[in-house]
Amino acid sequence: MGGPFRPFDSDECAALEREIGMPLPSAYRAFLEAAGGEKLDYSVRLPACEPEPVQGFDELFQLGRDDAGEYGWGTLLGEYRRSRGGRPAENAHLTGLLPIARNGGSDTLFLDLNAATHGQLHAFVHAVPLPEYLGSHVFTKVAEDFDTYLDSLFIDPDTAEGVWADAAECDPSDPWRRTIEEWLDKELPGWRTEAWAAAS
């Protein structure tokens, strides 16, 4: 996970739950308590999004207020308030759904807080009007719960190539470069034999 990181604030968590009117699932709350970062460079496979089944929601929304002291863009409460309008709300029933992450294309990952489906994850993925891309908007179930979602994540080779391109420019002794190497060694065995890795 990438930062900047922020400590867990139980008062902000309580404020979020009060406004939504439903409690956060214990697995997601534990994640917020343990990992208050902003980036999660992993992908998930969504069969409903063929011909683009590999999707990523790498921009995590933050608990609490932003640097300006507001519930703005990228905060859980701010994103919840904004999600009541916009394209996802026009194409899916969002009652009881909390947006928790998105990607650069504004595709959004939602956490289900409704009693009957509490803890499930869903995604809204935008259509791209080009050949070989998703032809229509998709709203699909992603996982039964947050722990299952985390277990399903993997590093897409395209993501790995982009991250390594930045790290490879650093000195081999640089701590960040070594961290990236350890991350790739663990999550994507054999990456060092890829042409994009061997060339650096």
pLDDT score, position 132: 84
- 29 and 13 in contact (C-beta within 8 Å)? yes
In angstroms, the CA 154 to CA 172 distance is 25
Cis, peptide link before residue 47, omega less than 30° from 0: no
Give the burial string for 96-129 (b: 16+ CB within 10 Å, else e): bbbbbbbbeeebbbbbbbeeeebbbbbbbbbeee
Q: What is the pTM of this model?
A: 0.89
In this structure, of 4-8, 81-85, 123-127, 177-181, the range with the lowest mean pLDDT score is: 81-85
- Confidence (pLDDT) at 186: 93
Q: Which of 158, 160, 147, 148 is nearest to 187 (CA)?
A: 160
Local confidence band at 101 (pLDDT 50, 70, 90 cut-offs): very high
- DSSP-derived secondary structure letter, 198: H
Residue 148: CB atoms within 10 A of its CB come to 14
CB 157 within 8 A of CB 188: yes
- Residue in 131, 124, 129 with CA at minimum distance from that of residue 48: 124
Q: Answer yes or no: is pLDDT of 74 > 90.
A: yes
Other beta carbons less than 10 A from residue 73's beta carbon: 10
